[in-house]
Amino acid sequence: MTQPLPPNAFDAASRRRGVFHNASGRPKHGLLSALRWLMTRSRGPWPTHVEDVHVAPPEARVDDGSIRATVIGHATVLVQVAGLNILTDPVMSMRIGPTSWLGPRRVRPPAVPFELIPPIDVVLLSHDHYDHLDRPTLRQLAARDNPLVLTGLRVGRKVPSKNVVELDWWQTHALRDGLTATYVPAEHFSGRGLFDRDRSLWGGFVVETPQGKVFFAGDTAMGVHFQAIRERFGPMTLSLLPIGAYAPRWFMERVHMDPDEALHASLTLESQTSLAIHFATFNLADDAYDAPTHALARAVQHLEGQPAGGDFRVLPFGEAAIVRRGEGQEAAARRRYA
């Protein structure tokens, strides 16, 4: 059941004294809360290495009336639609941090090696955190393909490319005839060091195409922004929603959804198909390696009937999901993956 949207639901991002703020106005955790979490952590088990099953490389281009999505790892997804190749938050490095030797190490390599990723036309960059903005990968992409990089306000200076467009919330950029990308709100924060907290913007994207609408949530907590996105754009055809790095809830609930909330977001968006992202790659919180997928499976099993938004899948990394606008869950399940 939806609630009335707040008056600022469709406003541009609020920025005061150089600092951006969530539309909700909810207070954020400070240094003391972070120290409390670090001192009281109870980590779930994670493997040190996972090898994905080898799959066929992605098609060079897709223009068959479908949307094809390949989860490469974490929040990196190859979206192919109407002949356009889009890559979300590309992170191919083995570590995420200020140096090549500092920061969380990925437990599984990218499911599609860089050299097998087809030429990229557009990069959707949600925000500046190290597990989403990976300068070495962006540098490789700029040298090979020089894709258009769309991102939030004041993020561009951190991107090693000259082909960058910064957007405010609800601002739209044309990709080509019949395709647009709109930067939309998220409930999160930004910063890569001690002195740049929230000085650049965070958000997600809605890509409108002749084959339907694709929503990439980036990194976000639960919030009314999902309802606002649904009201502005209508039901989504494909949604890429984060499900991991959610424990402990007292600390993470203000920045990351848990799997139950991710399913609720999918239902709010009335998404024809949703794919899970942001899990089983980097150990960023206290939830166990397989906890997000198990929790999502339980949540989906408790749904009654086949509500709009209930087709929420955990895609094997490297395999492509094919989504055709208006196709029912049963037909999609029979075909399942490319």
Helix axes 291-301, 259-269, angle to 10 degrees: 50
Tokens 């502005």 locate to 232
Cis peptide, bond prior to residue 248, ω within 30 of zero: yes
Place of tokens 């609020």: 14
Q: In this predicted model, what pLDDT tens digit does every residue of 259-289 receive, in sequence order?
A: 999 999 999 999 999 999 999 999 999 999 9
Letter for the amino acid at 182? T
Give the per-residue pLDDT at 331.
59
Q: Where are the alpha helices (DSSP H) in the chain?
A: 31-39, 135-144, 225-233, 249-252, 259-269, 291-301, 329-335
DSSP string, 267-294: HHHT-SEEEEES-SSS--SSS-TTHHHH
Query: Which tens digits make up the pLDDT trace of 151-196?
Result: 999 999 999 999 999 999 999 999 999 999 999 999 999 999 889 9
**Tokens encoding 26:** 């909810």
pLDDT value at residue 338: 38
CATH class of the domain defined by 52-335: alpha beta
Q: What letter would DSSP give residue 308?
A: T
List, for the chain, all residue ranges whose pLDDT scores fall below the cut of 50.
335-338
Q: Tabulate helix, strand, coil % of the chain (nearest 5).
A: 20, 25, 55
Helix (H), strand (E), coil (C) string for 36-101 = HHHHCCCCCCCCCCCCCCCCCCCCCCCCCCCEEEEEEECCEEEEEECCEEEEECCCCCCECCCECC
Residues β-bridged to residue 17: none
Could you tell me the residue ranges of all domains in the chain?
52-335
